[in-house]
Amino acid sequence: MYYSSEIIVAVIPVLNHYVNTLGPGDAFRDWLVDTLGDRIKNKYCKVEVFKYSPSSHTVCRYKFKGEKYSVIVKFFAEPTGELKRYNASEAMVREYNNLMAARPIINVPMPIAIHQDFNCALVTEYISGRSLTWYLSHENDLYDKLTSVAHMQHRLHEHTRHDYYDKKKDFANFHKVLDHLNLDRPIREHFDQLLGKWWYSSLLDLKQGCMIHRDATPSNYIFRKDILYVLDLESSWYNAHYALDLGIMCSELKNHFQLQRGSGELAEPYIGHFLWHYSKNESDFLRITKIVPFFMGLGFLRSARLHRHYTHHKYLIKEAAACLTSLE
């Protein structure tokens, strides 16, 4: 972890928490300055380091003092989540390539550099602003912000259509999430039966897949002066179903209102608004509203992994089952 050239600094897991200040002579700091070239005028400036948390990997902001410039660095060889064994170098290159692929279509942080020797570091531009999470928490201008997110998702999906949709991958992912939850046997068997009905239904079938974000949570959408940016394309998929991104976002909205306002039903107007502005027309909207519950179920189960030791876990499992039952 490149907080310092000498020691690892223990930090409290707080968003954007100051960690250290690096000066000339620190190998990582010097590489950053050299890589950024003309962006940094004073090559001897000090660099403040702030750590973001929680995150699936170590993620830091490097602020160049006196330069009014920052970058974000994700260290893929420093996993902090449940997944510990993976090819960090491949993951680093994959996100870099995903950002490059999405950049001509939607606003994403500009990928600047990668370096395997620095714990598989990916350097991107720093995007300041407020996340959709903030607007959700304050219910401030939320309809307009969701309209922007819907339009951006639609643009990404429409402009990245591929030859086929890999339906098997979606179901394998669903079962993988269920495996992580270690549900009681009767509950797991119930989910397996529900998934079987979706598998044999033609509702999910598509002639073409597309590129999706796959982790379309409110925290990954940032508004900088009303311009929307999408963050964290590490887990993006190709040949995927567009409705996965929709379902994840909708489940996040409902889960938020359940936790913060005591009723997930309060999210329904926002979910309807979001899906309407994603849709091309009324018939498209009606079709999407039949498909989205499948992926909302996945979204609730993903969230259940984070609440397995809390009573809210039961709500999430119940909601996931109800979403899948909507096919019947």
Asked if residue 8 is part of any domain, the answer here is: no
Is 248 in the same domain as 293? yes
Is 117 in the same domain as 74? yes
Asked if residue 4 is part of any domain, the answer here is: no
Asked if residue 5 is part of any domain, the answer here is: no
Picking from 70, 96, 125, the residue at the C-terminal end of a domain is 125
pLDDT number for residue 242: 98
Is 24 in the same domain as 164? no
Domains: count for the chain: 2
Question: CATH code at 96?
Answer: 3.30.200
Is 300 in the same domain as 202? yes
Asked if residue 49 is part of any domain, the answer here is: yes
Is 252 in the same domain as 280? yes
Is 186 in the same domain as 320? yes
Is 163 in the same domain as 312? yes
Question: CATH code at 228?
Answer: 3.90.1200.10
Phi, psi torsion values for 20, nearest 5 degrees = -165, 170
Is the Cα torsion angle 93, 60, 132, 326 positive or negative in sign? positive
pLDDT by residue, tens only, the chain of 328 residues? 444 333 222 222 337 789 999 999 999 999 999 999 999 999 999 999 999 887 788 999 999 999 999 999 999 999 876 666 789 999 999 999 999 999 999 999 999 999 999 999 999 999 999 999 999 999 889 999 999 999 999 999 999 998 899 999 999 999 999 999 999 999 999 999 999 999 999 999 999 999 999 999 999 999 998 999 999 999 999 999 999 999 999 999 999 999 999 999 999 999 999 999 999 999 999 999 999 999 999 999 999 988 776 789 999 999 999 999 988 6
Structure tokens at 112: 């600047």
Picking from 95, 125, 155, the residue at the C-terminal end of a domain is 125
Is 114 in the same domain as 137? no
Strands (E) located in the chain: 17-22, 47-52, 57-64, 69-79, 111-115, 121-125, 130-131, 210-212, 221-224, 227-230, 237-240
Give the pairing of strands 57-64 and 69-79.
Answer: antiparallel
Is 27 in the same domain as 47? yes
Strand ranges across the sheet with 47-52: 17-22, 47-52, 57-64, 69-79, 121-125, 111-115
Q: Is the pTM of this model over 0.85?
A: yes
Is 237 in the same domain as 284? yes
| C-beta separation of 126 from 71 below 8 A | yes
Is 135 in the same domain as 269? yes
Domain with 99 in it: 17-125
Asked if residue 1 is part of any domain, the answer here is: no
Instruction: Please identify which residue in the block is written with the tokens 């951006």.
Output: 152
Report how far apart, in Å, the C-alpha atoms of 16 and of each of 51, 61, 138 are.
5, 8, 20
Picking from 125, 152, 174, the residue at the C-terminal end of a domain is 125
Asked if residue 145 is part of any domain, the answer here is: yes
Is the Cα torsion angle 6, 79, 90, 72 positive or negative in sign? negative
Is 279 in the same domain as 198? yes
pLDDT number for residue 83: 63
SS3 183: coil
Asked if residue 287 is part of any domain, the answer here is: yes
